C-alpha cells in the first residue's frame, strides 16, 4: 500500500503499475469520516448492483472464485484494521482514511474512502494476476465508474437534506 502525494489516498502500488485505477470525489455539506461515508452510501445500495453481484458470483464461481454476495446495507459504528465490511477486509483506518481490500488468485482490489474537509473521495486500484482477472475487469471497470458516481451522488444528496 502506498499513499498518493499530498493526500490521504492509499492505493495498491504506483498508478503506472496498476491494471485499473479510478478516483472520484464529491463535496458534501459537512465534514464526515470515511466510515460515516460508507454507512450513508450503504443505506441505499443501487438497485441493479445486487443483481450484478449475483451474476458476478455465478459466473466467477465457475472459475473457482469465492462468492462475495454484495453489500448488506448493515450500519457499522466502529471498525479497526482486520474487521470486515461485507466482503471487504479493513486493512487500514484512521479519521480521514479507510482502506478496504479483497484479494484472490485472480486480482487484488483496494478501495480507499478518504476525506479532507468537506471532500470525500473513493479511489479504487486493482492489480490483475491472470487472464480471468483481466477479462473480469473489462465489464467491471466500465460499470465501476458509474456505480461510484451514483454512490457519491447519493452521499451528497443525503448530506444536503
Q: Tell me the per-residue pLDDT of 38-87, one tens digit each, with 9 for 90 and over.
A: 999 988 766 667 767 677 767 777 767 776 666 666 788 999 999 999 88
CB 40 within 8 A of CB 154: yes
Rounded-to-integer distance, Cα 111 and Cα 123, Å:
6
- Overall number of domains in the chain: 1
Domain containing residue 21: CATH number? 3.30.530
DSSP state of 69: -
End-to-end CA, the chain? 36
Rounded-to-integer distance, Cα 1 and Cα 114, Å:
14
Write out pLDDT tens, residues 101-130. 999 888 999 999 999 999 999 999 999 999
Domain holding 113, by residue range, is 2-160
CB 126 within 8 A of CB 25: no
Amino acid at each position: 500500500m502506498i499513499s498518493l502525494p499530498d493526500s490521504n489516498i492509499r492505493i495498491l502500488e504506483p498508478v503506472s503499475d496498476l491494471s485499473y485505477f479510478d478516483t472520484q470525489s464529491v463535496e458534501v455539506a459537512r465534514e464526515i469520516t470515511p466510515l460515516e461515508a460508507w454507512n450513508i452510501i450503504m443505506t441505499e445500495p443501487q438497485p441493479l448492483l445486487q443483481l450484478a453481484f449475483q451474476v458476478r458470483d455465478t459466473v466467477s464461481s465457475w472459475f473457482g472464485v469465492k462468492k462475495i454476495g454484495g453489500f448488506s446495507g448493515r450500519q457499522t459504528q466502529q471498525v479497526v484494521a482486520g474487521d470486515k465490511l461485507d466482503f471487504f477486509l479493513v486493512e487500514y483506518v484512521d479519521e480521514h482514511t479507510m482502506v478496504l481490500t479483497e484479494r484472490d488468485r485472480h486480482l487484488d482490489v483496494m478501495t480507499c474512502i478518504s476525506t479532507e474537509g468537506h471532500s470525500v473521495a473513493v479511489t479504487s486500484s486493482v492489480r490483475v494476476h491472470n487472464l480471468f482477472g483481466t477479462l473480469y475487469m473489462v465489464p467491471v471497470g466500465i460499470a465501476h465508474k458509474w456505480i461510484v458516481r451514483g454512490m457519491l451522488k447519493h452521499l451528497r444528496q443525503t448530506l444536503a437534506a
